[in-house]
Amino acid sequence: MGEYSLFEKVAVWSVLGCGLIGILYGLYLIRQIMSYSTGTKKMQEIATAIREGAGAYLRRQFKTIILIMVVLAIFLFFTGANMPMRLGRSLSFLAGAFFSGLVGFGGMMMAVRGNVRTAEAARHSFSKALEIAFRTGTITGMFTVGLGLIGCTTIFIIYGEQAYEVLIGFGFGGSLIALFMRVGGGIYTKAADIGADLVGKVEKGIPEDDPRNPATIADNVGDNVGDCAGMAADLFESYEVTLVASMILGWYVFGRIGVIFPLIVRAIGVITSIIGTYLVKARKKEKNAMAPINRSFFISALLTAIGLYFFANYYVEDLRVFWASVIGLALAVAISLLTEYFTSTKKKPVQEIAESSTTGHATNILAGFSFGMESSVWAIVVIAVSIFASFLIAGGDTTLALYLISLCGMGMLTTTGLIVSMDTYGPVADNANGIGEMANLEPEARSIMHQLDAVGNTTKAITKGFAIASAVIAATSLFGSYFEETGLVSIDVAKPVVFIGLLIGGAVPFLFTSIMIRAVSRAAGVIIKEVRRQFREIKGLVEGKTKPQYARCVDICTTSALKELVGPGIIAIITPILVGFLLKVEALGGFLAGIILSGQLLAVFLANSGGAWDNAKKLIEDGEFGGKGSEAHKVAVVGDTVGDPFKDTAGPALNPLIKVMNLVALLIAPIIVVHGNRAIVYIPVLAVSLLFLWWAIWRSKKRFAKFD
């Protein structure tokens, strides 16, 4: 960093310091949360069962994928231009994977400790219960931004202007772990949820989280491994990938200033997220948890905008980078409002779906499908407007426009610490509500937990919208980086090979989604049979005189999720390699465009239709259209179970899929340019890729042996 100015050197080290501040704040919150009471013995027993189940699953998951990560690290070693780059790319890949896994695992292990403390606090105060639940989520948020910033800044300090070459490996490691955690966690959580709902609510007529339900502990474990660990890793890799793309494109536009500015943006976001999360406190007599959360978000966004203006004006000396970042902040608000409209119980779409439940299963499903599809249209319009605005600001300069698009993504994710806090708050509140139900706590405490849980459903839906939109912006930025790396000026879709690449790219998200939904369906089928068996064979279970065999359902979910884990990851890695070597770099560009478009449309449809079905069920449970136990309620439960793998498995897993494929394309593009026409290289690559792809698809269709 010898050629950098004193200000730039101080700025880079200050960015590193901000990352450390984020970690230290997270550690401080751990100490604070752990000091609170864990409640009654019954509450502690339930919380321990959830904690042990969640920890056991993630440990087995990491053991399953560690060999794949080592093999890929060796592969990445051979993609570097020289020895320092080769070592850097391999080691940064492992570091990215480790940090992503640490964020997911560490955040989840705090969530399963914060849940029982939230439940206990709800026995005394709404405000304190909200504070504990949200600050538990904040720990995950601070680890996400802190580790991400430390990793990227350290690589920049070591490699300087060549850092982006190494950061591709760092982003790839984080993305791949996020994909595995999304796939495994999504299958686990929805297999348990569907099994618990269909047998418990529909067949036996018992409430959610009832201790008589054999799948209820597995359901609560699933909330953590799916909604907490999976989302944390997902947003961590979005955080990294947008930074990688910004640094690559920034170098081409502004030189070192364009590389350092994204790091400064991230540092500002860490500080404003800390301020924002600290402000999440309910005022006197305030009983709506969403109000303080919204206040903190808007204050954090405003402070971020002020900081961005200062550095854009006085360091970059170009306010276009400020406006691009502000567009990202506006996009975050727009996505939040759009998601809330299509998934909130207070809005027309959910109310119409709930009303359609009174006329049967078909009308409920059709209503959910139609609103989910409509939401995809408006989401892509909002994202398209943001991208177009960035192009307008660039004034016709394509490379600058791509850099500004990446800064739009940076702006959207400046408050990542707060966004992750909002998401992790969801499973903490959900688990607290479940613990309160199973421990039979006082009605007033359960009312508070129900309110917190209802808001948690909203925050989870909103952060899913953030994750999808950020994935599209990140992928678009990486798409621009792909053009810079390959030297392509444009891609011509009139060329047959490019159009074929576009078609294949558009089809891959549908293949991936079908595999994910089939996996959930298979695992849920086994859970349903097991829950029915226990109700049938365990005497006194329905009456509540004996305990169910909770561990059996936990083991089934764990084993099922791990068996389905590897195939989708192989598809994500192999498909771009296959297209690139078979159809070459321009067609691979078309392939990436197809993935971004169909992946975004499908992800929003799946997330919002699933969320709308879920909240339509909750609206009926609150007393509308006949209330609990009515025919409309039974119809809505079925709609919710259809939506479960949509919103919590397939939809969220498409986010890392899109980014993994873009990063793989970035990594292999130089190899294709140099060696793509050599038969000795591309024939073995094609043969091996086809073999792996066939195995992944075959395995997804295989019916595994039944559990004894």
**How far apart are the C-alpha atoms of 178 and 176, rounded to whole Å?**
5
Does residue 359 lie within any of the structural domains? yes
Q: Tell me which residue has tokens 């066939």.
A: 694
Can you list the alpha helix ranges (DSSP code H) found in 631-678?
A: 631-645, 651-675
Do the beta carbons of residue 236 and residue 178 sit within 8 Å? yes
Report pLDDT for 312.
Answer: 92
- pLDDT value, residue 562: 83
Tell whether 1 is covered by a domain: no
Lowest mean pLDDT among 44-48, 233-237, 509-513: 233-237
d(CA 254, CA 259): 8
Q: Lowest-pLDDT range, 1-5, 295-299, 534-538?
A: 1-5
Residue 707 in domain: no
Reported residue count of the chain is 708
- Confidence class for position 708, pLDDT limits 50, 70, 90: very low
Give the three-class secondary structure for 266: helix
Q: Considering the domain boundaries, does residue 708 fall inside one?
A: no
Confidence of residue 462 (pLDDT cuts 50, 70, 90): confident
**Has residue 478 got a pLDDT over 80?**
no
C-alpha span between 657 and 568 (Å, rounded): 9
Please state the rounded mean pLDDT for residues 7-12. Answer: 85
Phi-psi region of 540 (alpha: psi -120 to 50; beta: other; left: phi over 0): left
382-437 pLDDT, tens per residue? 989 998 998 899 887 888 888 898 899 888 888 888 888 888 888 898 888 888 88
- Please give the backbone phi and psi of residue 447, each rounded to the nearest 5 degrees, phi first: -65, -40
Confidence check: pLDDT of 365 > 90: yes
Mean pLDDT for the stretch of residues 348-358: 93
E strand segments, 556-693: none
Confidence band for 381, pLDDT divided at 50, 70 and 90: very high
R_g of the chain computed on alpha carbons: 24
Number of domains in the chain: 1
pLDDT, position 675: 66
pLDDT at 541: 82
Residue-range definition of the domain harbouring residue 550: 6-701
Nearest to 187 by CA among 637, 484, 522, 510: 522
Q: In degrees to the nearest 10, what's the CA dihedral of 615, 619, 622, 626?
A: -140
Three-class SS of residue 413? coil
- DSSP assigned state of 397: -
The CA distance from 702 to 221, in Å, is 26
Q: Confidence class of residue 707 from pLDDT cuts 50, 70 and 90? A: very low
What pLDDT score does 30 carry? Answer: 94
Phi/psi of residue 541, nearest 5 degrees: -70, -45
Domain membership of residue 680 (yes or no) is yes
122-144, pLDDT tens digit by residue?
988 888 899 999 999 899 889 98
Specify the pLDDT at position 447: 85
Mean pLDDT score of the chain = 86
